[in-house]
Amino acid sequence: MDFKLSNKLKKLPPYLFVEIDKAKKKAAEEGRDIIDLGVGDPEGRDIIDLGVGDPDIPTPRFIIDALSKATHDPKTHRYSLDQGLPEFREAAAKWFKKRFGVDLDPENEVYPLIGSKEGIAHIPLAFVNPGDIVLVPDPSYPPYRSGTIFAGGEVLSMPLTENHKFLPDLKAINHHLLHKVKMMFINYPNNPTSAICDKKFFKDVIDFATKHNIIICHDAAYSEVSFDGLRMPSIFEVEGAKDVAIEFHSLSKTFNMTGWRIGYACGNSRIIEALAKVKANIDSGIREETF
């Protein structure tokens, strides 16, 4: 049997974090200490893990307790088709209001995800046709690129450089190609540069996207991971965002839940509706509980 890979799969580079993990395991087999920050190995050859962002502290107790209780409730043993239980969407909208001061309609502006990665990788399938362009920061979290390739789209890189504070330079994007651009990904706080952005940057992106009819996908997975009192804004704190944007949120990093992931997309109801249509054909929802 000739198991020929699809052309789309052949176009994908090896998944970065899997490759980093392999390299880490190999180095550990060679006897080097991992995440030891230089104290274990007298020759200073310890490995500092800069791979996948995986919190190494446990999930808070109140979540573990609520989840253990929920597993005994037969209600949670059944499919949760489509947008899932209202309780989770209402809780997400309530948190959003408290945290960002932004109103979201839990009925059609919040949608649960099996981790934000899943929504990020699926969103291009909703809007991108073969030949359409997606703007992707470089470097960036790999699913922006792979999701685009799975949808048959072309990636146009937006370099993140130190002289531009690791923000994409919108003026540097090739103007001749803008009519083909369907979507753009941005991500602040940023992985891997750790850069942050302000509302002025969001405003510039919204104006640019509105002018050129581009959907903004803002990946806010690290919105709660900041230091020195900094509070990252949501893109929806800026006027006009709901007309053009969707934002991805994750409980993985906020609540140390990478082993039992859950996330949600929120924002423009028509973008959410299209993502929901893709997901209805791929997964069958998550049975979310609220705490």
Ligand X SMILES: Cc1ncc(COP(=O)(O)O)c(C=O)c1O
Cβ-count burial 98-115 (b if 16+ within 10 Å, e if not): eebebebebeebbbbbbb
Residues near ligand X (CB under 6 A) = 52-53, 115-117, 141, 187, 191, 219, 221, 250, 252, 258, 261, 263
Report, in Å, the least distance between residue 55 CB and ligand X. Answer: 10
Starting at the earlier edge strand, list the strands of the sheet with 245-250. Answer: 110-113, 263-267, 245-250, 215-219, 181-187, 133-138, 154-159
Residue 88 near residue 291, CB atoms below 8 Å = no
Nearest to ligand X of 187, 268 (CB atom): 187
Residue 116 near residue 221, CB atoms below 8 Å = yes
Report, in Å, the least distance between residue 15 CB and ligand X. Answer: 12
Report, in Å, the least distance between residue 249 CB and ligand X. Answer: 8
Report, in Å, the least distance between residue 158 CB and ligand X. Answer: 15
Strands 133-138 and 263-267: unpaired
Nearest to ligand X of 157, 210 (CB atom): 157
Q: Distance between CA 234 and CA 274 in Å, rounded? A: 22
Nearest to ligand X of 106, 189 (CB atom): 189
Report, in Å, the least distance between residue 137 CB and ligand X. Answer: 10
Residue 164 near residue 145, CB atoms below 8 Å = no
Report, in Å, the least distance between residue 121 CB and ligand X. Answer: 9
Nearest to ligand X of 250, 268 (CB atom): 250
DSSP state of 34: B
Residue 251 near residue 262, CB atoms below 8 Å = yes
Nearest to ligand X of 191, 269 (CB atom): 191
Nearest to ligand X of 115, 267 (CB atom): 115
The H or E element spanning position 204 is: helix 199-212
DSSP state of 63: H
Q: Distance between CA 165 and CA 212 in Å, rounded? A: 24
| Count of C-beta atoms within a 10 Å radius of residue 60 | 14
Nearest to ligand X of 129, 194 (CB atom): 194
Report, in Å, the least distance between residue 130 CB and ligand X. Answer: 26
